[in-house]
């Protein structure tokens, strides 16, 4: 049972746990750790904001770590590329956390960044791509039979 909600029936705790797992899996499938999904679930459940923040952060770190391990095991992680970002991000995270930006200005800045990102994604997908696909080969008959193709 959840410590903050001892009145919850065991079945509901299981449903909530499964929802959190589903959110984590869906977000991880597109390269995200799922903080906004966890926050939405907790808001729907009426969890206090003081509990929501550290819970979402903990779940984010957990899902992000799992994704990173899989990414690194597949050979897609390069320490040489990582270190400059890590060294620069720690002090800048402190500066960003200490900065007091008015909510309106922050919303406008986030909106502009999201809009520019969307434009870049659309522009990238509109450009013609060279055809580099491998030629199709016929599937061997035994494999086709096993796959029911």
Say if 142 falls within a structural domain.
no
Say if 39 falls within a structural domain.
yes
pLDDT, position 74: 93
Say if 77 falls within a structural domain.
yes
pTM of the model: 0.53
pLDDT, position 149: 43
Determine the Cα–Cα distance for residues 60 and 102; give it in Å rounded to an integer.
Answer: 26
Say if 22 falls within a structural domain.
yes
Q: What's the number of domains the chain is made of? A: 1
More confident residue, 133 or 114: 114
pLDDT at 4 over 70: no
Contact 41, 16 (CB under 8 A): yes
Segments forming the whole domain that contains residue 86: 10-115
């Amino acid at each position: 049972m959840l410590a903050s909600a001892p009145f919850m029936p065991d079945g509901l705790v299981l449903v909530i746990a499964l929802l959190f797992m589903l959110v984590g899996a869906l977000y991880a499938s597109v390269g995200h750790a799922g903080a906004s999904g966890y926050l939405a679930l907790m808001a729907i459940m009426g969890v206090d904001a003081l509990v929501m923040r550290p819970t979402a952060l903990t779940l984010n770190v957990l899902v992000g770590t799992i994704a990173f391990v899989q990414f690194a095991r597949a050979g897609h992680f390069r320490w040489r590329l990582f270190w400059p970002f890590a060294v620069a991000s720690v002090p800048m995270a402190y500066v960003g956390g200490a900065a007091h930006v008015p909510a309106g200005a922050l919303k406008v800045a986030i909106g502009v960044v999201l809009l520019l990102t969307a434009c870049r994604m659309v522009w990238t997908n509109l450009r013609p791509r060279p055809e580099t696909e491998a030629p199709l080969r016929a599937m061997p008959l035994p494999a086709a039979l096993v796959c029911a193709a």
